[in-house]
Every structure is written in C-alpha cells, then in structure tokens.
Amino acid sequence: MMLTWLALVLLVGLLCWVARLSSILASNDERQQQEAEAKGLALLLENLDPRQREQYDRSGYFDVVGSETGRRYRICHGVSRNVSELFDDNRLGAGRCFMPRGNLAAGDCMLAQKIMLENCEEEALRVALRF
Amino acid sequence: MPRHIIMDPSGHSTIEFDAASTTDLAEAERRFNKLVAKGFIPAEARGEGKHHVPDQSKRVFNPDAEETIFVPALKGG
C-alpha cells in the first residue's frame, strides 16, 4: 500500500515536471520568434525608401515597381500570398506568390520580395505562382 | 565597417569585417562564394531603399560593397 502511494506521488511529480518543462520550452520558442520578427521588421524599415516607409507605416503595405516590365506590385505584411499586381487605378490584380526558402520572419520575407521585384523581376516571376 | 547580412530564421545574422584587413576580406569572399553556391542572392544596399543585384552570371564578391544582404533562393508559394 505504502509503495503504491509512493509510486503515485512520484508519477504525479514527474508529470508536473514534464508539463513545466514543456511550458518553458514553448515560451522560449515564442520569445525567439518574437525577436526574429522584431529584427526582420527593423531590417525591412531600414531598407524601404521614404515613400514606401510612409505607406507601410500608414497602411501595412508598400508598392514597388518591377525592374523589367515597369509593372507595379503591392507587398502586404505577411510571408505568403502577400504580393499582388496593381492596376493603374490602384485596384489589386493577380496575386504572385513567391518567398525566400526557409522559415523567415515577415520583415525579411517582405524585404526579399521588394529586392527581387525591383532588381530581378523576371527571376522572381519565374518561380511565383499566381493566385 | 562593411557587413554581410544573411537572412535566416533568427531574423538574419550580421557579420562585419574590416575592409583594410586582407584576412577579413579573404574570409568575406569565401563566405560570399559559399552563400552564392548555396543559392543565396546577394543584394548590395545603395541607401534610400535602393539595392543592386548583379545578373545571375555576375554574382562575384565586391570588396567595395558597404552592405550586402543575402536573400535565400526563392520558391513559389
């Protein structure tokens, strides 16, 4: 009887310890993700031109001009399905979904999309999927 | 001081190097070539939100670049 109680107490203690450890690991992951997002966003803001910066601060998106076609694109905050062509009257056209490989923060992802469309539009559109 | 900014899941890593040091420059060139071989796309920051990305066949180390951002290879979503 005594042994059963002891085993039960040990089991409950072990379960509590595992739950606490999982919670600590989860909060570490969350903190690292938040740090990555903050760093990515800071890099994006450093690399936007003044007009794009103002547009992003105001609306959460910014517009870029394609290096080869001169077509305009809107990049919205996000990591996928966040790039669309723009008509002359600013209506959204076809979506162009492409992003850098790897699990990047939103700021880094948007900066990569801007750099590619403004410098190597064809290279970006070659891999982009329409949506 | 010139720097390489490598986009990664940590929100990018920054590596500064001394352009006056031949050792640092050699290391920077090795890093550049290794990243380009892995498919990273080098973009030289030119200030005011402007960048320069060389053509695919001309992506070689530029010792005069103040800041190079390495974008991982692209994929369709």
**Neighboring chain B residues of A131 at a CB cutoff of 8 Å:** 77
Listed in order, strand segments (DSSP E) in chain A are 61-65, 72-76, 83-86, 92-100, 129-130
Q: What is the pLDDT of residues A29-58, one digit of tens each?
A: 899 999 999 999 999 999 999 999 999 999
Q: Give the closest of B8, B48, B53 to A115, CB-based.
A: B53
Under an 8 A CB cutoff, do A116 and B8 touch?
no
pTM: 0.87
Q: How confident is the model at residue B2 (pLDDT cuts 50, 70, 90)?
A: very high
Scored b (16 or more CB within 10 A) or e, A52-70 reads bbebbeeeebbebebbeee
pLDDT at position A1 is 76
Decide if pLDDT at A81 tops 80: yes
Predicted confidence band at A25 (pLDDT cuts at 50, 70, 90)?
low
pLDDT score of A16 more than 90:
no
B53 by Cβ neighbours in 10 Å (0-12 / 13-18 / 19+) ranks as: buried
- The mean pLDDT of chain A is 92
CB of A123 within 8 Å of a chain B CB? The answer is yes
Question: What does the mean pLDDT of chain B come to?
Answer: 96
The 10s digit of each residue's pLDDT in B54-70 is: 988 889 999 999 999 99
pLDDT > 70? residue A63: yes
Residue of B nearest to A111 (CA): B71
Domain boundaries, chain B: 3-71
